[in-house]
Structure 1
Amino acid sequence: MEKTARETTSLETGVRLTGFQVFDLATGKAVNTPKAYGKSIKTSDLPDGIARFFPFGVTYDEPADPISGGANSEAPATGTGLPPDVLLPMLESMREDIAEIREALAQVHMRMVGGSLLIIYEADWERAREGLKWLEEADEDEDGDDEENEDEDEDEKRVGPPYLVKLIDFAHTKVVPGIGPDEGVLKGVDTVLTLLDGRIEQTKAVIASTEAAPAS
């Protein structure tokens, strides 16, 4: 593990992208990015990796990454990813959840080797919108006394959060009181938060440019 960390982005940033998939609605198939990609890229390439994982659902010119100042990424193929106006609130909510995970980790005296942050999100545009609406209404539903309608449509019953964020892979984790939090883990989570900040700003820029464009 130490050798892999030295040869990848792990040592410098606390993060290495592993393999991931983005569902292509146009073909009905997953677009795979293998583990070899995450092992081959440099730290400066991480924003491009995040853009691959959170592509825009139609072809846009990618703005330069505001964090690294790097060159523009290639626009993803039409059919992958979510529209920017759907992706933005999802990224912002996801960032809040990861920040809460970071706060919790900062309170635990432990050492973790090989831990992972699992992120899954809804690729279907309409279901993603429904999930975002579910998030907005979740707090009200928790405070309210409304009983669930037994005749509710089956599709509506399946609506839930549009994404999932979990800390996984605890096989090499030790809790040791008095040792303090794992600074390497905190560094990795901080890197993820910074990368999300960059993608959020890119998404805002695309939305702003679209709104400013003259109607054809």
Structure 2
Amino acid sequence: MADKKSFRKSQLIALDHVAAGHDGVLSDPSGEIVVKPCKQSEIDFYESTLAHPDFLPHIPTYMGRISLGSDTTVAQAAGTLILPGETVQDLRPAGPGIAGATLIENAWAPSNGGKIQTDLAVVLENVAAGYKKPNILDVKLGARLWADDAPLAKRAKLDKGAEETTSKPLGFRIAGMKTYQGVDTNAHNGITADGYRLYDRIYGRGFNIDTVPEGFGEYFRLVKNDKPEGPIRKVIRRFIDDLEAMAHVLENEESRMYSASLLFVYEGDHEALQDAFSTEKDIIASLNNSAAETDESSNGNGAVEEDEEGRVKFPSIQSLKLIDFAHAEWMPGQGPDENLLHGIRNVIKTLSGLVG
């Protein structure tokens, strides 16, 4: 069972590295976790993923849930949720708040990225932790972005947005990103004082099926029409491998996930990225040498670093996760989520086109 992560609400701070999504996402002072305000449906989905082990590597580690309505500590870690004698119902907060999440046709209004009206939050690993300068990209998946219980006004708005962007033809659109430009870059033209350029949701809506590769090229900081080389080429190849592995899992699951996103993260500091690849190579060589050793002198006292659970700790190079499950559920008997898979497959095609 995983150790419980304990903190108080008063210690939470605004999450720095966010590319898209709703306001109000928090983190702890260590930066290792994300506290994401959400509805009960998203908590339910994260708890249900424990029964889908093949899916778990493709989402952020779920650590539990808290109430933001009081200054409380995290009491439910991932291991606690499945202890014998406990049920999901046992761990849900009593009292008001849940009923208010029911959709009312006449009351719906677009949030436009504002804070979700809720006291509930999921506690997740921060996928961007461990990087010196994380470059972050959020890609919204699906040609259809609304769930079956969505009000008609919401359906119409989301359908219109899909028609006007790459969502409808490709099943994805760039929702936002944040890329490191360097500390010597002056704070101007959308570049922050700490060297980041920010791209909001409007940026991604300007692409069509022909120009959307330029958005990914911008994320990987490629010169237009140039092919990636060196470490960046390796990073893109790894993202493609991760996407193909994710697609394989989803092809063997029966689910529906509307408005879910792909979260891409890679090391944006060029020198740190090169060092990470070099360190990774050394670790693999050390592990291979240790495996080949048969004498007693090979007792694991090498320079390979391990985490608290004894697993080899590799440097942070890149990571890909599926996120945002407010409108996600398992649908036995309904087949794979082709709406989601259509977008993932087209992202694979787009990245494959970049590397040639």
Q: TM-score, normalised by structure 2?
A: 0.45
Query: In structure 1, what is the equivalent of residue 229 of structure 2?
Result: 84
Distance 2:325 2:305 in 1: 42
Q: CA deviation at 1:137?
A: 5.5
CA 1:14–1:150 in 2, change beyond 3 Å: closer, same or farther? closer
Distance 1:137 1:162 in 2: 14
Task: Choose which of 239, 244, 254 in structure 2 pairs with 1:94.
Answer: 239
Matched-pair contact (CA < 8 Å) for 2:253–2:335: yes
Task: Choose which of 3, 16, 20 in structure 1 pairs with 2:177.
Answer: 20
Query: In structure 2, what is the equivalent of residue 133 of structure 1?
Result: 278
1:172 aligns with 2:334: no
How many corresponding residue pairs?
A: 176
Task: Choose which of 23, 42, 49 in structure 1 pairs with 2:208.
Answer: 42
Q: CA deviation at 1:159?
A: 6.0
1:57-90 deviation line (CA, Å, top 9, x unaligned):
xxx5x3279xxxxxxxxxxxxxxxxx83121111
* SS of equivalent to 1:20: strand
Distance 1:2 1:138 in 2: 48
Distance 1:195 1:150 in 2: 36
Distance 2:348 2:262 in 1: 12
Moved more, 20-29 or 94-103: 20-29
* Sequence identity percentage: 26
Query: In structure 2, what is the equivalent of residue 208 of structure 1?
Result: none
Query: In structure 1, what is the equivalent of residue 44 of structure 2?
Result: none
1:9 aligns with 2:171: no
Distance 1:138 1:12 in 2: 43
Query: In structure 1, what is the equivalent of residue 219 of structure 2?
Result: 53
* SS of equivalent to 2:265: strand
Q: Which has the higher helix share?
A: 1
* SS of equivalent to 1:8: coil
| Greater RCO structure (CA 8 Å; 6+ sep) | 1
1:91-123 deviation line (CA, Å, top 9, x unaligned):
111211111011111111011100100001101
* SS of equivalent to 1:19: strand
Distance 1:88 1:192 in 2: 16
* SS of equivalent to 1:174: strand
Stretches of structure 1 that go unaligned for 5 or more consecutive residues are: 66-82, 202-216
Q: CA deviation at 1:162?
A: 0.7
* SS of equivalent to 2:343: helix
Matched-pair contact (CA < 8 Å) for 2:283–2:314: no
Q: CA deviation at 1:200?
A: 1.1
Matched-pair contact (CA < 8 Å) for 2:165–2:173: yes
Q: Which has the higher strand share?
A: 2
CA 1:134–1:115 in 2, change beyond 3 Å: closer, same or farther? farther
Distance 1:97 1:147 in 2: 32
Matched-pair contact (CA < 8 Å) for 1:135–1:161: no
Larger-gyration structure (1/2): 2
Matched-pair contact (CA < 8 Å) for 1:134–1:161: no
Query: In structure 2, what is the equivalent of residue 63 of structure 1?
Result: 225
Code of the residue aligned with 2:211 in structure 1: it is D
Moved more, 129-138 or 93-102: 129-138
CA 1:9–1:151 in 2, change beyond 3 Å: closer, same or farther? closer
Tell me the C-alpha RMSD between the 2 structures: 2.8
Distance 1:138 1:3 in 2: 50
Distance 2:254 2:166 in 1: 25
Matched-pair contact (CA < 8 Å) for 1:132–1:161: no
Distance 2:322 2:242 in 1: 11
